[in-house]
Amino acid sequence: MKNIDAAAFKTLYLKDTEFQNLMQKRIFNVLLIATPYDAFMLEDDGRVEEQVYFEYVKLNLSSPPRFAKAATYEEAYRMLEEKDFDLIIAMPGVDISETFTEAIKIDSLYPHIPFVVLTPFSKEVRRAISDEDLRGVDYVFSWLGNVDLILAIIKLIEDKMNAENDILDVGVQCIILVEDSIRFYSAILPHLFKFLLKQSMRFSEEALNEHEQMLRMRGRPKVLLARDYAEACALYDKYGGNVLGIISDVRFPAHNATKEKDPMAGLRFARYVYEHDPYTPVIIESAEAHNRSLAMRVGGIFLDKTSKTLPQDLRTAILDNFGFGDFVVRDPATGHEIMRISNLKGLQKNIFNIPADSLFYHCSVNDVSRWLYSRALFPIADAIKKYRFTEMSEAPAVRQLIFECIVKYRRMKNRGVVAIFQKDRFDKYSNFARIGEGSLGGKGRGLAFIDQIIKRNPICENFDGVEITIPRTIVLCTDIFDQFMEDNNLYPFALSDRPDSEILDRFLQASLPDWLLDNLSALYEVVDKPLAVRSSSLLEDSHYQPFAGVYSTYMIPHLQDRDKQLRLLCDAIKSVYASVFFADSKAYMNATSNVIDQEKMAIILQEVAGDDHDGYYYPSFSGVGRSLNYYPINDEVAEDGVAEVAVGLGKYIVDGGMALRFAPNHPNKVLQTSTLDLALRDTQTYLFALPSDVEASEHFTVDDGFNIKKLPVNDAARSGALKFMASTYNAYDGRIVDNDLGAGRKVITFANVLSHGVFPLAPIVEFMLRTGQYEMGRPVEIEFAGNIAPDANSSSAEKKGTIYWLQIRPIVDKKEMLDDSILNLPDKELILRSDTALGHGVMDNVCTVVYVKPSTFDSARNEELAREIEDINKRLIAEGRPYILIGPGRWGSSDHALGIPVKWPQIAGARLIVEAALPGYRIEPSQGTHFFQNLTSFGVGYFTIDQENGHGFCNYEFLDDTPAEYESDALRIVRYNDPLMIAINGRKSAGIVAKPQP
CB 563: neighbour CB atoms within 10 A?
A: 9
Burial of 251 (0-12, 13-18, 19+ CB in 10 A): middle
Distance CA 232, CA 275 (A): 15
In DSSP terms, 175 is beta-bridged to: 223, 245
In DSSP terms, 226 is beta-bridged to: 178
Domain final residue, candidates 792, 812, 832: 812
- Return the percentage of the chain with pLDDT > 70, whole number: 91
Residues 206 and 144 grouped into a single domain? no
- 836 within 8 A of 944, measured Cβ to Cβ: yes
Distance CA 26, CA 155 (A): 9
pLDDT of residue 543: 44
pTM of the full structure:
0.76
How sure is the predictor about 46, in pLDDT bands with cuts at 50, 70 and 90?
very low
CB 622: neighbour CB atoms within 10 A?
A: 28
Nearest CA among 155, 161, 164 for reference residue 196: 155
760: amino acid identity, one letter: P
How sure is the predictor about 182, in pLDDT bands with cuts at 50, 70 and 90?
very high
Strand order in the sheet with 660-662: 466-469, 801-810, 780-788, 621-626, 642-646, 660-662
In a domain? residue 563 = yes
Least-confidence region, from 127-136, 327-336, 496-505, 671-680: 127-136
Give Cα 850 distance to the centre of its chain.
51
Distance CA 151, CA 289 (A): 32
Could you give the 3-state DSSP secondary structure of residue 824? helix
Distance CA 595, CA 524 (A): 36
Q: How many residues does the chain have?
A: 998
In a domain? residue 142 = yes
Domain final residue, candidates 414, 433, 454: 414
Stronger pLDDT, 939 or 565, i.e. the higher one? 565
Could you give the 3-state DSSP secondary structure of residue 469? strand
Residues 437 and 579 grouped into a single domain? yes
Nearest CA among 913, 879, 885, 894 for reference residue 974: 885
Domain final residue, candidates 590, 608, 626: 608
pLDDT of residue 340: 94
- 103 within 8 A of 96, measured Cβ to Cβ: no
Residues 912 and 881 grouped into a single domain? yes
Residues 701 and 822 grouped into a single domain? no
Q: At what angle do helices 378-385 and 367-374 cross, to 10 degrees?
A: 160
What's the structural domain count of the chain? Answer: 6
- List, as one string, the DSSP characters of 515-573: HHHHHHHHHTTT--S-EEEEEEESSTT-SSS--TTSS-EEEE---S-HHHHHHHHHHHH
Least-confidence region, from 119-133, 250-264, 586-600, 738-752: 586-600
Query: If you average pLDDT over residues 184-197, what whole number do you get?
Result: 92
Residues 737 and 747 grouped into a single domain? yes
Boundaries of domain holding 28:
23-148
CA distances from 435 to 309, 424, 442 (A): 46, 14, 16
Nearest CA among 98, 185, 103, 106 for reference residue 141: 185
Distance CA 489, CA 711 (A): 42
- 385 within 8 A of 372, measured Cβ to Cβ: no
In a domain? residue 7 = no
In a domain? residue 598 = yes
Give Cα 556 distance to the centre of its chain.
26
Stronger pLDDT, 317 or 597, i.e. the higher one? 317
Residues 978 and 854 grouped into a single domain? yes
DSSP H or E stretch at residue 679: helix 676-681
Q: Residue 204 belongs to a domain with what CATH number?
A: 3.40.50.2300
In DSSP terms, 730 is beta-bridged to: 735
Residues 599 and 650 grouped into a single domain? no
Q: What is the per-residue pLDDT across 780-829, written as a single tens digit (0 to 9) for each?
A: 989 999 999 999 888 877 889 999 999 998 875 545 556 677 788 899 99
pLDDT of residue 763: 97
Enumerate residues 6+ apart whose C-beta is below 8 A from 779. 626, 627, 628, 773, 810, 811
Enumerate residues 6+ apart whose C-beta is below 8 A from 980. 831, 844, 846, 847, 849, 884, 993, 994, 995, 996
Query: If you average pLDDT over residues 872-881, what whole number do you get?
Result: 94
Residues 295 and 424 grouped into a single domain? no
- 94 within 8 A of 76, measured Cβ to Cβ: no
In a domain? residue 987 = yes
- 629 within 8 A of 933, measured Cβ to Cβ: no
Nearest CA among 285, 277, 284 for reference residue 244: 277
Distance CA 113, CA 525 (A): 55
The chain-wide mean pLDDT, for the chain, equals 88
Question: Sign (positive/negative) of CA torsion 551, 557, 560, 563?
Answer: negative
Distance CA 350, CA 370 (A): 18
How sure is the predictor about 190, in pLDDT bands with cuts at 50, 70 and 90?
very high
CB 514: neighbour CB atoms within 10 A?
A: 7
In a domain? residue 4 = no
Residues 385 and 517 grouped into a single domain? no
How sure is the predictor about 544, in pLDDT bands with cuts at 50, 70 and 90?
very low
Residues 588 and 482 grouped into a single domain? yes
CA distances from 538 to 445, 452, 487, 639, 642 (A): 10, 20, 21, 30, 28
Residues 69 and 105 grouped into a single domain? yes
Q: First vs last Cα of the chain: how many Å apart? A: 82
Q: What is the per-residue pLDDT across 83-112, written as a single tens digit (0 to 9) for each?
A: 999 999 998 876 788 889 999 999 999 999
In a domain? residue 153 = no
How sure is the predictor about 191, in pLDDT bands with cuts at 50, 70 and 90?
very high
CA dihedral 304, 308, 312, 316 (to 10 degrees): -30
Q: Residue 639 belongs to a domain with what CATH number?
A: 3.30.470.20
Residues 291 and 369 grouped into a single domain? no
50: amino acid identity, one letter: E
Stronger pLDDT, 38 or 713, i.e. the higher one? 713
Q: What is the per-residue pLDDT across 675-732, written as a single tens digit (0 to 9) for each?
A: 898 889 889 999 999 999 878 788 999 999 999 999 999 999 999 999 999 999 988 8
950: amino acid identity, one letter: G
In a domain? residue 364 = yes
Distance CA 55, CA 78 (A): 30
For 556, how many CA atoms within 13 A lie in the half-sphere containing its CB?
26
CA distances from 975 to 720, 876, 942, 943, 979 (A): 55, 11, 20, 20, 9
For 603, how many CA atoms within 13 A lie in the half-sphere containing its CB?
29
DSSP H or E stretch at residue 983: strand 971-985
Distance CA 194, CA 188 (A): 10
